[in-house]
Amino acid sequence: MKKVRMGMVGGGQGAFIGAIHRIAAMMDGNVELVCGAFSSEKNRSKASGVSLHIPEERCYASYEQMLEVESLLPKDKRMEFVVIVTPNHLHFPIAKMAIEHGFHVLSDKPATFSLSEALVLEAVIKQNNCLYGLTHTYNGYPLIKQAKHLIEKGELGNIVKVVVEYSQGWLASKNDEESKQASWRLDPEKSGASCCMGDIGVHAANLAEYVSGLLITDLCADLTSTVAGRILDDDGTVLLKLSNGAKGVLLASQVSLGDENNLKLRIYGDKKSIEWSQLEPNTLWLKSNIEPTQQIRTGVGEMCQAAQQAIRTPAGHPEGYLEAFANIYQNFTAQIRAHGNKDKCDNALFDVPGIDEAVRGMAFIENVVNASNSNIKWHAFTLNPYPLEQH
């Protein structure tokens, strides 16, 4: 089987997530990075690509040039999919142009700058025969797959409460605003309607829906710009109502001093509950009031097929963030290989967040911002964009 040919937009020298994507993409030997437009500045793009051993003629000056030129190359040479790892405001134009040129797209989150863009992208995908994936990384953990499986088979009973938290401390002070990563995230022209909710709240919302199998139907939100002078939120709390009537709490913060990528999920059913933390990703707790608490460990005992295929090392050799990311690539490349030949890939097993999750994620961000600007307590979750209310 040949490697799947990948192009990258963003991820040049000094960037954060592009390098993580490259490690994840290469982990299973399925992917070859063949080209890129790694920076908005052409010399930096070239230098970045050359340092990755990409032929100079395929280190492009812009994503437009890359998509045009690659689409004219022979079919067995041109890239097959593009990964988008730029600041948020560029996700939509790159994804749209790539799909219109016949390339599959794997985009980082949030999917677009606004919900309206996500809805246009959804229509573009429907009109073209291309795959679209979104890197909600945390779905890739084996024990997240196992937790989803336990809930699907009714082990927890009826879900009554979902608590999801994602707290970081890296934007806790004014001094933290100087990095390249902070400056665009805090800029509404590049980040979108929200900083904290758009950056990490959207991951938490996706994880809660993915594992519980429930959808957010209503919300009540309170966003804060803790550090003086910020236009966008750096902290927020959202109360949730879910599609089975359960209640939830979503907490996201970038000003929680000392917190790392402290993502935690607790789901309570009327029979049992689960608890998982990214800081200990190879442990899942299964609890009840009757039986002793059970510690489920990655690779120990029999797991569901989706969890099993997400594990690479024997139990006790820790797997983490990079492997979770690689699992998204593994599934997406399986989908690409099976494209046009659906029998060969079970999309439920090789699942990748897609355009539905993209639209819901953008709706989540805008619904939260709107609700936070309002004095009304509960707001029905809508997939229709509306003008964001002002204070």
Ligand X SMILES: NC(=O)c1ccc[n+]([C@@H]2O[C@H](COP(=O)([O-])OP(=O)(O)OC[C@H]3O[C@@H](n4cnc5c(N)ncnc54)[C@H](O)[C@@H]3O)[C@@H](O)[C@H]2O)c1
What is the maximum span of the chain, computed from C-alpha positions, in angstroms?
65
Report the residue number, 199 or 351, with the smaller CB distance to ligand X: 199
CA distances from 386 to 117, 118, 197 (A): 13, 14, 18
Q: Which is nearer to ligand X, 261 or 309 (CB)?
A: 261
For residue 292, the 8-state DSSP code is P
- What burial class does residue 224 get, using C-beta atoms within 10 Å of its C-beta: 0-12 exposed, 13-18 middle, 19+ buried? middle
- Give the nearest distance from C-beta 16 to ligand X in angstroms: 4
Residues 3-22 that bind ligand X (CB under 6 A): 9-12, 15-18
Q: Residue 87, interface with ligand X (CB under 6 A)? A: yes
Token pair recorded at residue 339 = 């494209």
User: Do 8 and 82 touch, CB atoms closer than 8 A?
Assistant: yes
- For ligand X, the closer of residues 49 and 269 by Cβ is 49
Q: How far is the CB of 302 from ligand X (least distance, A)?
A: 29
Cβ atoms < 10 Å from Cβ of 386: 10
Please select the residue that binds ligand X; options are 71, 128, 181, 288, rule is CB under 6 A: 181
Q: Are strands 262-269 and 273-277 parallel, antiparallel or unpaired?
A: antiparallel
**Tokens standing for residue 122:** 């959804």
Which position among 25, 31, 59, 85 is part of the footprint of ligand X (CB under 6 A)?
85
* Interaction of residue 194 with ligand X, rule CB under 6 A: no
Asked whether position 199 contacts ligand X by CB under 6 A, the answer is: yes
Instruction: Based on the shown chain and the rule CB under 6 A, indicate whether residue 88 belongs to the binding site for ligand X.
Output: yes
Side-chain-side CA neighbours of 168 within 13 Å: the count stands at: 17
Taking CB under 6 A as the rule, does residue 114 contact ligand X?
Answer: no
Could you give the angle at the alpha carbon of 195 between the alpha carbons of 194 and 201, nearest 5°? 85
Interaction mask 124-153, ligand X, x per CB under 6 A: -----------x-x----------------
In the complex, least distance from residue 178 CB atom to ligand X, rounded to whole angstroms:
13
| Exposure of 180 in the CB half-sphere (CA atoms within 13 A) | 11
Q: How far is the CB of 27 from ligand X (least distance, A)?
A: 16
Interface residues with ligand X (CB under 6 A) are 9-12, 15-18, 37-40, 63, 85-88, 90, 108-109, 135, 137, 180-181, 184, 199
